[in-house]
Amino acid sequence: MRVVALLNQKGGSCKTTTATNLARALQMDGSDVLLVDSDPQGSARDWAAVREDQPVTVVGIDRPTIERDLKHIAKKDIVVIDGAPQAADLAVSALKAADLVLIPVQPSPYDIWATSDLVDLVKQRMEITEGRLQAAFVVTRAIKGTRIGAEVTEALAGYELPVLESRITQRVIYPVSATAGTTVLEAEPNSDAATEVRALASEIKQLLF
């Protein structure tokens, strides 16, 4: 079982949108996937509840016992954790459970600066695990053709963590599909949004396996 934790202690980073779409993409690619909602607000659980025939299994673990609780859950190929914002104890618990930490970050200087504390936590955990924990940034809400979108990789370089090639672009279909409890993969399977989500899932699998 491989665990991907999406963490960013700043709200509005597109974390839940990325987690739900990633979980569904990995599932559609043939993996047995569980989505863990560790946010007390329960956004991923709310998303799942909207759709009666929801194909993605979502469970809530919004206490700092994630790494222990996952040991008692039926084994899955991949577990995706939708991390909680502004909750250091939950972030640490998700870090302990993770094989890969994905840090969604918007191409904004404020969002880039706000990741500093989380990056410190991640690097401490990487040191403890002697490099077994992997971590990477994924740029979200990117706006095509903008200067800051092109410069964000350079701006993140100071944190000395890789930046994934795949990006989640700002598109209306993401919130529209979420309101129906679904993803861009089902709402618009041939769209650019679906293509970028599938690319992200492929890149994640290459890191995990």
Whole-number Å distance between alpha carbons of 3 and 5 = 6
Average pLDDT (61-75) is 92
pLDDT at 164: 95
Lowest mean pLDDT among 1-10, 175-184, 188-197: 1-10
13 closest CA partner among 155, 125, 118: 118
204: its two tokens:
């994640």
Lowest mean pLDDT among 22-26, 64-68, 111-115, 176-180: 111-115
For the ranges 12-16, 81-85, 193-197, the one whose mean pLDDT is highest:
193-197
pLDDT at 147: 67
E strand or H helix that includes residue 197: helix 192-208
Q: Candidates 3.40.50.300, 3.40.50.12780, 3.10.180.10, 3.40.140.10; correct CATH number of 2-208?
A: 3.40.50.300
pLDDT at 146: 66
Question: The tokens 């956004």 sit on which residue?
Answer: 43
The structure's pTM equals 0.95
45: its two tokens:
């659980």
pLDDT at 7: 95
Residue 11 has a CB neighbour count (10 Å cut-off) of 12
Exposed, middle or buried, 147 (CB in 10 Å: 0-12/13-18/19+)? exposed
Q: What is the DSSP letter of 156?
A: H
Report pLDDT digits (tens) over 105-159.
998 888 888 899 999 999 999 999 887 899 999 999 887 766 666 678 888 988 9
